[in-house]
Amino acid sequence: MAQTPTARSVDLTIPAAGVLLALLIGVPLGLVAGLTRGVLGEVLMRFTDLLQAFPLLILAIAIVALTGNNLTNVIWAIAFVNTPIFLRLTRSQVLTIRELRYVEASIALGNTKTRLIARHIFPNAIGPVIVQVGISMGYGILLLAALAFLGVGVQVPTPEWGSMILIGAGDIVTGQWWTSIFPGVVLILAVAGFNLISEGVERARSLQ
């Protein structure tokens, strides 16, 4: 017999899948944008600027509404709004690293671009990206809950903190406040937890 999903598994799995997709798409594009000085890099950055000009929640609602209200499209919506963040962050790191002396020395020694990326640029650029993963996870959980609360994300009877808050909101006036407050508290703790993890990783990086 199939096991019924829990709110915890839904609220963590879907944002994790969306952030992973954003990471797999945004980091390679950020490497390309940082290493390419021509038209391709400029096109990627102007497209990123265009996406980030829209409020991320509105953009996610539009994506889910246009593509269909199911879990797969919610995952892609979370990935779509987070990809520009990883792209821009990776590009900024690459632009800084490629001007360092050891990178210039590596180029002078005749290393190929592939070897240069694998040995020098990517390992040194990935640290801030890992920190951003935790922040994006927290925001992904909030985004998932907001979509469910607005009725365009996870649908009942699938358990999800945002839909629980929506269902319990009507009970507050009857004195049953816990049906809405408890999912909200858990949501806050989850987001705060991922932010603290990111802060811990950043502090550990600064001590190296």
Q: What percent of the chain has pLDDT over 70?
A: 95
Other beta carbons within 10 Å of 188: 12
Whole-number pLDDT of residue 2: 43
Query: What span, in angstroms and rounded, lies between the C-alpha atoms of 36 and 34?
Result: 6
Q: Which residues of 124-136 are buried (b: 16+ CB within 10 A; e: fewer)?
A: bbebebebbbbbb
CATH number at residue 138: 1.10.3720.10
pLDDT tens-digit readout, 126-142: 888 999 999 999 999 99
Residue 1 lies in a domain: no
Q: Is the pLDDT of residue 112 over 80?
A: no
What's the structural domain count of the chain? 1
Residue 56 lies in a domain: yes
Residues 6+ apart with CB under 8 A from 187: 11, 141, 142, 145, 161, 162, 165
pLDDT tens-digit readout, 144-180: 988 888 888 777 777 788 888 888 877 777 777 777 8
pLDDT tens-digit readout, 30-69: 988 888 777 887 888 888 888 888 888 888 888 888 888 8
Report field, pTM of the whole predicted structure over 0.75: yes
Containing structural domain, residue 104: 7-206
Residue 149 lies in a domain: yes
